[in-house]
Structure 1
Amino acid sequence: MSLLAGRTNRLVGSVIDSSTSLLQKQSHDIVRFAIGSPAEEAIPTAVFDDLAPAVLTADAFDYAATEGDPWLRGALLDLLSDTPDATTGERLTVTAGGMQGLDLFGKLFIDPGDLVVVESPTYTNGSATALSYGAELLEVPTDGDGMIIDELKAAVGRASRSPKAIYVIPTFQNPSGTTMSLDRRLRLIELARSWNCMIIDDDPYAMLRFDGEEIPSIRSLADGDPLVFAVRTFSKIIAPGLRVGWVDTDPGLQQLLINAKQAMDTCTNLPNQRLVAGYLTGGFLSDHLQIQRDRYRERKIAMQQALADHFGDTASWTDPDGGFFIWVTLPGVDTQGLFATALAEGVAYIPGQAFSPGHRFTDALRLCFASTAPERIREGVARLSRAVDHG
């Protein structure tokens, strides 16, 4: 008789995270479009080196307050104070990256059998977290303006029950790079209120807009509505290895979040909280973000030009105004089956079906342009083209 808990059959893992280990085992040159991380040169290691002697004092290696180190909380509140997402200490809880924010939501809200709506395609790790708490997932199609709200209403109608939560990445979505329109954000909030269900507003990329007009976050549009659980992170805008993020929630949830986090990891890594606090209070973030926006715009354009050169009318792809990703559709190509050939050719990506609980999008794939220089992007797309030809 197995001693494993019944929930283990719902721990599906992450194709995205597993690709990190896979790539580390390769000995040949690979253009890495798979992992959604900032460019190596985008990590402010020199600034961290300068900050370290001042911020990593002896007390920085002690336990921290579960809700977050006061210095980081103050710096974060100051950072947000000049934005539409200005908040208060009672709403803010520091987490170990955005993923812990999603996990804390699951701990607090998802019971086995609860219906959770996800975008289709969606972020693998987000849907996997909901599954790990026993959720039943309902995929709703997206287009260039995000989740299709009419399809959401129809899908919930067919399910004959209201969802417990709707999980969205509204800005420069992972994996598609698309952004939910203002009208759809407002309609989504209206529907959530009518169903009395939560919205998980997972928005890690909003500060990386390099084109187009800014759209207010779901969190700001809902004006403090307790039905919105906002998840944020420094992983995409500073460095993923820091594992520092935050959630913005109804104040009545904070003690529950503290209780849940104390049963998980006690506190977020304090040395890294101090590094982030020093970075924010030192005034480094604004210039850093502008440099990254310019860099990512250049890289997106390079990838789109390379796709046009090598695939012409045989493929289609999205045109993001920010973030990290382009979603490519290759009609007639099994991108899961193509992966081994592409890896042998020296290029890595994430197959489309990894972003669908129902394993849809077999002819699609996600490419990250953020972490690769333009000349390497062109080489990587050329390798992808060769793989398709050989496949």
Structure 2
Amino acid sequence: MSERFRFTIAATDGKARTGTIAMRRGVIRTPAFMPVGTAGTVKAMRPAEVRDTGADIILGNTYHLMLRPGAERVAKLGGLHAFSGWDRPILTDSGGYQVMSLSALTKRSEDGVAFKSHLDGSAHLLSPERSIEIQRLLGSDIVMAFDELVPTTSTRDVQAAAMERSMRWARRSRAAFDGGGAHAEGAAIFGIQQGALDEGLRKASADALLDIDFDGYAVGGLAVGEGQEAMFACLDYAPGQLDAEKPRYLMGVGKPDDIVGAVERGIDMFDCVLPTRSGRNGQAFTWNGPVNLRNAKWAEDLSPLDPDSPIAGWGMAYLHHLTKSGEMLGAMLLTQHNLWFYQQVMAGLRDAISAGSLTAWATAFRERYHAAKA
């Protein structure tokens, strides 16, 4: 049988690391950015195009796929890889965030979260065991433990209670995963550190997760409105509380400069809807900062967004026209460009860490990226 999961650190520069995660469906280069394929598709992109941007792995969403078309149906149709046409690794989130953010009516208990679907109002219970079962039915390569997320503005008592419950759910998630037979033999499971912005709660969470023992660890509960300064302050200590020999994944992050700062603080993996969502809304990410293609100043500009971009054959004027006209092609081209740009940033980070020049690379990146704001 091919390799289940092996993380190798090839080089370090300060707290930053570069390396690989070897799995049966392919090798993931780290630091890695995972395009988000919420409902079994990276919006506006075909799988081969996603791969061509440089992506080694994508993310699927447990909550959305359990509701439509249903995990059992996906399993019947051969699993998420065959169903969607993506033959590389897939990480699936646990569904916990969506249950608590999209469902109008939820009831949390030790069993799990009872909720009503945002699609049709049907009643469901998502527990650690059911979350892991869904991810197994989907055929996920990297499974996420089920956790409870509360706002960083909650009281410390509320944050502590949620963290402690998340750790109990993490143990149940691990047990459910280990009982998954052939799937568990070929997949991996990550635990999720919680504790909001409290260093003591983060340490207690990390200790509990390390005791359970996961293949990798996520830093959860960030990128939920606390701002970059507060997020970085947390990342100054949170990754170091986790096992240095295993991958560290920052969930839901983020903007390109968020990613650069997080890599400097020891993070290996990222996901975010921003490059695809922005592409559908007329925003492109470039080395010189974000560009709003709706702006009239591009109406007669024939230059490309980036001469190296896969969409360099179309000028700014045409992209502006497509965006203003609401044409589907505009969303497709800008999404392709944004995902390519994110992968270029990741490649730059990997090369800089390997060369021992990350500080200089990151400084130059930030100066150029923010120059338009100066």
**Do both share a fold (TM > 0.5)?**
no
RCO higher in structure (CA 8 A, sep ≥6): 1
TM-score (norm 2): 0.29
